[in-house]
Amino acid sequence: MSYSCKECDESFDSLRSLHAHIKKHGKYVGDYYVEHYKRKDKLTGDLIPFKKYDQYFATDFINKRNMKKWCVTAPRQEVKEFIIKKFKEKIQAKGMSGGPPSLYLQTSKLPDLDIYKEVFGSYREACTQVGMLPMLGKQLPSNFYDDYSQTPILIDTREQKPLHFDNSELLKLDVGDYGVGGNLYDYTFVDRKSYQDFCATVTNGYNRFVKELDRCRSIGCYLFIVVETAFDDMWGENQRGYKKFNLEYVFHRMREIQAEYTDCSQIVFSGSRQKSEELIPKILVLGKDLWEVDVQYFWNQQLKKDGLARRQTKTKQRVQGYKSANSRKRGIFRRY
Ligand SMILES: [Zn+2]
């Protein structure tokens, strides 16, 4: 393949030599591409900033918000073609065997799962159009909402900061930090991770973690990695933490794990430690019934509902309260 310079028409057999050549025109590579290719955000028409060659030509929007807005406002047929093209490219590039989980979509440049639902009727339908099925395509069983708080939970003796369950027992587990025994055992385990643990595990601890997943797969088990923070709080946590992680890199590594290991593991951001205590018994009791369910997707809906309920009670209290000029200034009564 040859690359020709848009300034002087000279040809080069590699991008590298073209880029070295561009500098001779007294230009930065980024400026050269933006000047000659003018890639524009499909929604706003603003020029897309150049970061890297591959990034530049694979980017159609300045941010995901614009993509989302375009997907729901542009002509439907055009949107469908765009999504299928992007989806196919990603799946082929990563050699994936099925449509990736919602969390993967959320952190990648692909549209979020709800967009597929809106545009294609369902995520399954979008996946079918590229000749595959979602990796986690099952519906949530209705008994997920039952009360499992009395379930006897086995906690691994090496677990550093055990969660509290009404009924629990310390034991050395083969896989993960939490499990269930006896008739309830269904080859399903849970690994609990704090925000810090999670980021460290998928970055510095990547190779070790992947070995653990290989072992889990080889003995026919399934590991739910439950992170005790809300996904949307990741940025805030990172700001507050003493150790800062490169979240883009964390998500990149997370996606690699999801692309490769979704047959024997999935990641769920529970919202908090308390929410983990609610979620983990459900996961352990339902076991295999959840292996192909996108638990994060449904759990998010639950979190949203809980959040809304809390917010409504708060709003009521606010309306009754006295609004001082000072509190108005601080924006306490700002409408959400
Ligand atoms: Zn030139």
Give residue 28 CA to ligand 1 midpoint distance, Å.
Answer: 12
8 Å CB contact between 257 and 215: no
CA dist 250 to 24, 205, 212, 257, Å? 37, 11, 18, 11
8 Å CB contact between 188 and 288: yes
Give residue 56 CA to ligand 1 midpoint distance, Å.
Answer: 20
Give residue 138 CA to ligand 1 midpoint distance, Å.
Answer: 54
**Residue 155 bridge partners (DSSP):** 170, 178
8 Å CB contact between 218 and 168: no
Give residue 46 CA to ligand 1 midpoint distance, Å.
Answer: 26
Give residue 22 CA to ligand 1 midpoint distance, Å.
Answer: 6
CA–chain centroid gap for 82, Å, is: 21
DSSP of 234-300: HHHHHHHSSS---HHHHHHHHHHHHHHHTTTEEEEE-SSHHHHHHHHHHHHHHGGGGTTB-HHHHHH
Give the environment of ion ligand 1: residues with CB less than 5 A: 5, 7-8, 10
Its pTM stands at 0.86
- Residue 43 CA to residue 78 CA, distance in Å, equals 13
Give residue 49 CA to ligand 1 midpoint distance, Å.
Answer: 22
Give residue 8 CA to ligand 1 midpoint distance, Å.
Answer: 4
Give residue 115 CA to ligand 1 midpoint distance, Å.
Answer: 42
Q: Which amino acid makes up residue 222?
A: Y
Q: What is the DSSP letter of 323?
A: -
Give residue 51 CA to ligand 1 midpoint distance, Å.
Answer: 21
Tell me the CATH number for domain 145-312. 3.40.50.10130
Tens digit of pLDDT per residue, the chain (336 long)? 899 999 999 999 999 999 999 999 999 999 999 999 999 999 999 999 999 998 899 999 999 999 999 999 999 999 999 999 999 999 999 999 999 999 999 999 999 999 999 999 999 999 999 999 999 999 999 999 999 999 999 999 999 999 999 999 999 998 999 999 999 999 999 999 999 999 999 999 999 999 999 999 999 999 999 999 999 999 999 999 888 999 999 999 999 999 999 999 999 999 999 999 999 999 999 999 999 999 999 999 999 998 877 777 655 554 444 444 444 444 444 443
- Residue 102 CA to residue 116 CA, distance in Å, equals 11
Give residue 9 CA to ligand 1 midpoint distance, Å.
Answer: 6
Give residue 38 CA to ligand 1 midpoint distance, Å.
Answer: 18
Q: Which amino acid makes up residue 198?
A: F
Give residue 45 CA to ligand 1 midpoint distance, Å.
Answer: 28
Give residue 27 CA to ligand 1 midpoint distance, Å.
Answer: 10
Coil, helix or strand at residue 194: coil
**Which residue ranges make up each domain of the chain?**
1-27, 64-128, 145-312
Element (H, E) at 328: helix 325-329
The string over 65-74, giving b where at least 16 C-beta atoms fall within 10 Å of a residue's C-beta and e elsewhere, is ebbbebbeee
Per-residue H/E/C for 64-97: HHHHHHHHHHCCHHHHHHHHHHHHHHHHHHHCCC
Give residue 14 CA to ligand 1 midpoint distance, Å.
Answer: 14
- The phi and psi torsions of 12 (rounded to 5 degrees) equal -135, 145
Enter the tokens of residue 130. Answer: 């590229």
- Residue 296 CA to residue 225 CA, distance in Å, equals 11
Give residue 60 CA to ligand 1 midpoint distance, Å.
Answer: 26
Give residue 206 CA to ligand 1 midpoint distance, Å.
Answer: 43
Give residue 36 CA to ligand 1 midpoint distance, Å.
Answer: 12
CA–chain centroid gap for 192, Å, is: 17
Q: What is the DSSP letter of 143?
A: G
* pLDDT on residue 314: 57
* pLDDT on residue 321: 42
The neighbour count for residue 214, using CB atoms within 10 Å, is: 12
Give residue 47 CA to ligand 1 midpoint distance, Å.
Answer: 23
Angle between helical axes of 247-261 and 206-218 (0-180°, round to 10): 20
What sign does the CA torsion over 75, 77, 78, 84 have? positive
The neighbour count for residue 268, using CB atoms within 10 Å, is: 26
Element (H, E) at 179: strand 178-179
Give residue 50 CA to ligand 1 midpoint distance, Å.
Answer: 19
Give residue 4 CA to ligand 1 midpoint distance, Å.
Answer: 8
Give residue 53 CA to ligand 1 midpoint distance, Å.
Answer: 17
